[in-house]
Amino acid sequence: MTKNPDTISPNKTTIDAIKIMKSKGFRHLPVIEKNQIVGILSMRDLYDAHAELLQESLKKHQEFMFGTGYGI
């Protein structure tokens, strides 16, 4: 087990977590609050979350650009 591992707090963004994990070569990152572990983020979880957000954003942009959702 790693002594004094890098961690992240729950109030940080997913982008912050990705930056830490990519710069250090980690695939998992403990989430610490009040000196207690409250979760573990995996790179897969973060990529999945961002992929979902990107799909939602793309759909909204497509609806705006192509006029869907206007009842035409």
Which residue type is seen at 2?
T
Which residue type is seen at 57?
S
Every domain of the chain and the residues it spans: 14-66
- Which pLDDT value is given to residue 69? 60
Checking if the pLDDT of 68 tops 80, the result is: no
pTM for this prediction: 0.70
Q: Which residue has the tokens 């609806």?
A: 63
Nearest to 46 by CA among 7, 25, 24, 17: 17
What is the rounded CA–CA span in Å between residue 11 and residue 4? 20
Q: What is the pLDDT of residues 9-64, one digit of tens each?
A: 999 999 999 999 999 999 999 999 999 999 999 999 999 988 988 888 888 888 88
At 1, is the pLDDT very low, low, confident or very high (cuts 50, 70, 90)? Answer: low
